[in-house]
Amino acid sequence: MSKVDIPGYTYGTAAVPQSWLTLAELEELKKSVLFGDDDVAALRESLPHLSPLVDEILDVWYGFVGGNSHLVATFGRKSDGQPDEAYLAAVRKRFGQWILDTAQANYDQRWLDYQMEIGRRHHTTSKNRTDGVAAADVVPLRHLIALIVPITFTLRPFLEKSGKPRVAVDRMHQAWVKSVTMQTALWASAYVKRSDY
Amino acid sequence: MSKVDIPGYTYGTAAVPQSWLTLAELEELKKSVLFGDDDVAALRESLPHLSPLVDEILDVWYGFVGGNSHLVATFGRKSDGQPDEAYLAAVRKRFGQWILDTAQANYDQRWLDYQMEIGRRHHTTSKNRTDGVAAADVVPLRHLIALIVPITFTLRPFLEKSGKPRVAVDRMHQAWVKSVTMQTALWASAYVKRSDY
């Protein structure tokens, strides 16, 4: 899979600083979200089913954000408050790749480092910089955490399209809930003092 | 229900400062977690089933925390690093009441204010103060967020004990997932600058 054609997608490159967390601390975080080898397998099981549906999934997520003025506000231009369509489009490409990366579940040092970068891109630290836009300064932390729910709830029907038995859909869905919650916990690092994190 | 016999349980009292958030912002947060009137009903539906099981639920949650050294560390005494049993016991009483408060789902200004107080009690701002203990300074934000998963996953079997049809259990469980995620987003306020929150 070629990834180099996604602007700003720096996963695995030297442009990404090392994470605050060690891999041992990542293992602790996995324990906190009950994430084990069976979840890695379940995420990878979801990959071939979700891959052809990435655009449909993004349509649902973008529809949700677009339908909530307090959420689409983070894409709002400082000049006139209107959503920056080019910014929305640039993020969408990386968001689609994020679905694939989450399902591939190679949660190693490079992945850990890139999660911290994703966090910074939601925070004033480096929001807007990747895409060269002048939009809202920050994705408020409370909504970043809240979005665990719509992201995972709306994914379930796409997992059901796999035609797999309910127990398999449950397994894939639970692995997704664990991973998205864990990633949100990683992204939150950009918002707090290291000693509080 | 008498609540005054729980030390440190200040919900609804003048000791709790007003929240940063307005009720209008709470409504936005509800939208972000897809929380509606049907979820209020589902939480209240769960109340009579969970009330007699509070101690069993707490046994599961305390067993999980106790079985993970990186989690029980937040109850560790500064003097010798061992878990402070009196602290664990004091928190347990309020944690049990939290189950009932969540299921009662009266998410008004007093509730909102008390969520911010719960957040402060996890953060260096006022952790340990309520119980007069000398334990770890902070519950790390990453684990506070991560605990959404074990809290909600382990609650499901208790909801199943209601004997209700699967669709009703699903409805109650989803309402719990939404509420716990929303509350975690509220508690996180103690960790960040208001402008980032």
Q: Mean of the pLDDT values across residues B27-49?
A: 98
Asked if residue B144 lies in contact with residue B184, where contact means CB atoms within 8 angstroms, the answer is yes
The pLDDT of residue B1 is above 60:
no
Interface subset of A 5-64, CB within 8 angstroms of B: 21, 28-29, 31-34
Q: Which residue stretches of chain A have pLDDT < 70? A: 1-4
Instruction: Decide if A191 and B189 are in contact by the 8 Å CB cutoff.
Output: no
User: How many CB atoms sit inside 10 A of residue A108's CB?
Assistant: 10
The pLDDT of residue B59 is above 90:
yes
Instruction: Sort out which chain A residues have CB atoms less than 8 A from B124's CB and list them.
Output: 195-196
Report ipTM for this prediction. 0.97
Mutation target for B interface from A28, A142, A148: give the one with most B CBs within 10 A.
Answer: A142
DSSP string, A98-113: HHHHHHHT--SHHHHH
User: How many CB atoms sit inside 10 A of residue B141's CB?
Assistant: 26
Please give the interface size between A and B, counted as residue pairs whose CB atoms are below 8 Å apart.
119
Q: For residue range B168-188, list pLDDT tens digits in order.
A: 999 999 999 999 999 999 999
User: How many CB atoms sit inside 10 A of residue B178's CB?
Assistant: 25
Please report, to the nearest 10 degrees, the dihedral formed by the alpha carbons of residues B139, B140, B142, B143 taken in order.
-40
How far, in Å, CA of A146 to CA of A37, rounded? 26
Domain ranges of chain A: 18-61+98-126+141-196
Give the pLDDT confidence score for residue A5 in this predicted structure: 86
Instruction: Decide if A192 and B153 are in contact by the 8 Å CB cutoff.
Output: no
Instruction: Decide if B32 and A153 are in contact by the 8 Å CB cutoff.
Output: no
Asked if residue B114 lies in contact with residue B10, where contact means CB atoms within 8 angstroms, the answer is yes
CA A57 to chain centre: 13
Task: Please list, residue by residue across B4-33, b when 16 or more beta carbons sit within 10 angstroms of its beta carbon and e when fewer do.
Answer: eeeeebbbeeeebeebebeeeebebbbbbb
How far, in Å, CA of A182 to CA of A189, rounded? 12
C-alpha distances in angstroms, A7 versus A10, A112, A129, A130, B25? 8, 20, 12, 8, 34
Give the pLDDT confidence score for residue B4 in this predicted structure: 59
DSSP for residue A27: H
Contacts of B177 (CB under 8 A, 6+ apart): A149, B148, B152
Average pLDDT over chain B, rounded to an integer: 96
Q: Which residue has the tokens 């959404």?
A: B148
User: What CATH fold (topology level) applies to the domain A18-61+98-126+141-196?
Assistant: Globin-like (1.10.490)
Short-list B149, B164, B151, B178, CA closest to B38: B178
How far, in Å, CA of A126 to CA of B38, rounded? 39
Distance of residue A65 Cα from the nearest chain B Cα, in angstroms:
9
Among A124, A150, A185, select the one facing B146 at the smallest CB separation: A185
Give the pLDDT confidence score for residue A139 in this predicted structure: 97
Global pTM?
A: 0.97
φ, ψ for residue B192 (rounded to 5)? Answer: -130, 165
Instruction: Sort out which chain A residues have CB atoms less than 8 A from B150's CB and list them.
Output: 32-34
Distance of residue B2 Cα from the nearest chain A Cα, in angstroms:
32
The sign of the CA dihedral A35, A37, A40, A42 is negative
Give the pLDDT confidence score for residue A3 in this predicted structure: 55
Asked if residue A41 lies in contact with residue A140, where contact means CB atoms within 8 angstroms, the answer is no
Q: Which residue has the tokens 């996995």?
A: A30
